[in-house]
Amino acid sequence: MGLNVIMMGPPGAGKGTQAGRFARERGLLKISTGDILREAIREKNPTALAAKARMDRGDLVDDAMIIAIVADRLERPDADPGFVLDGFPRTVAQAQALDGIMERRNNGPLVIVDVMVPEQELVRRLGGRRICGACGTNADAVASTCVKCGGGLVQRADDDHGVVRERLKVYQHTTKPVLEFYRERPTFRVVNGAQAPERVARELDALIDDASQSAMSAERAR
């Protein structure tokens, strides 16, 4: 039986940081739609290049394209132990598509975690973030080059102050309704993301374990 997690939250909440760590520690597949798009842009994939302008101004890219990327990724064998989604679903249409995929996979509970952080802190984090220009990894706060590949550090195009404001608006209008789509499910949890990353990690692990164990007990009792 797999374990499947959605890391929800606004831009800069720490979804990618926590999704990467949790997936590594539990042997799950991490799928970050933002990372997949940025990597495809670096590789000059024509479809991703066509989506770049939307990303650079803080808009979402087309639902059909993103749903196809995630569905395809989840069909590969490394998704069998389960997955952690970072940045998907971001629209109600994407959440509905994921429900269809989950039904077909029939492989363990789906735990949804909302990582909450006040807007002022999100703006501060994104304004200060640097990523590796070569491989896209988030930079370590004290390093002057990428800890993974030694590449030079740059600002992400959509971390420009004006674009961050737009991303936060898009989050409020389009992605917040996804939280309402999930909120009444017994596996929906909220974590305070405005704490040190290690503390967020501890609380997140406890919430996810609790939600998945209750879902499995409920399933066994049926």
CA 59 to chain centre: 16
Assess whether 104 carries a catalytic annotation.
no
Assess whether 202 carries a catalytic annotation.
no
Q: Which residue among 129, 148, 176, 185 is the active-site one?
A: 129
Query: Contacts with ligand AP5: how many residues (CB under 6 A)?
Result: 32
* Region 116-135 residues binding ligand AP5, contact defined as CB under 6 A: 125-126, 129
In degrees to the nearest 10, what's the CA dihedral of 103, 34, 62, 99?
A: 10
Q: Which residue among 21, 38, 130, 156 is the active-site one?
A: 156
Check residue 87 for interaction with ligand AP5 (CB under 6 A): yes
Nearest distance from residue 12's CB to ligand AP5, in Å? Answer: 5
| The two structure tokens encoding residue 58 | 């803080």
User: What Å distances lie between residue 193 and 1, 4, 117, CA to CA?
Assistant: 28, 20, 5
Nearest distance from residue 159's CB to ligand AP5, in Å? Answer: 7
Whether 85 and 70 have beta carbons less than 8 Å apart is answered as yes
Strand boundaries in 63-214, DSSP class E: 82-86, 110-116, 131-132, 153-154, 188-192
Q: Which residue among 30, 125, 167, 189 is the active-site one?
A: 167
Whether 3 and 111 have beta carbons less than 8 Å apart is answered as yes
Check residue 34 for interaction with ligand AP5 (CB under 6 A): yes
Check residue 69 for interaction with ligand AP5 (CB under 6 A): no
Check residue 83 for interaction with ligand AP5 (CB under 6 A): no
In 120-157, which positions are buried (b, 16+ CB within 10 angstroms) versus exposed (e)? Answer: eebbebbeebbbbebebbbbeeeeeebeeeebebeebe
Assess whether 129 carries a catalytic annotation.
yes
The β-bridge partners of 154 are 131
Choose which of 3, 8, 9, 182 interacts with ligand AP5 (CB under 6 A).
9
- Report the distance separating Cα 68 and Cα 64, nearest Å: 6
Assess whether 15 carries a catalytic annotation.
yes
Check residue 33 for interaction with ligand AP5 (CB under 6 A): yes
- Report the distance separating Cα 86 and Cα 96, nearest Å: 16
Check residue 61 for interaction with ligand AP5 (CB under 6 A): yes
* Region 142-161 residues binding ligand AP5, contact defined as CB under 6 A: 158
Q: Would you please indicate which residues are annotated as catalytic (active-site) residues?
A: 15, 90, 129, 156, 167
Contacts with ligand AP5 by CB under 6 A lie at 9, 11-17, 33-34, 37, 54-55, 58-61, 66, 86-88, 90, 94, 125-126, 129, 138, 158, 167, 193, 197, 200
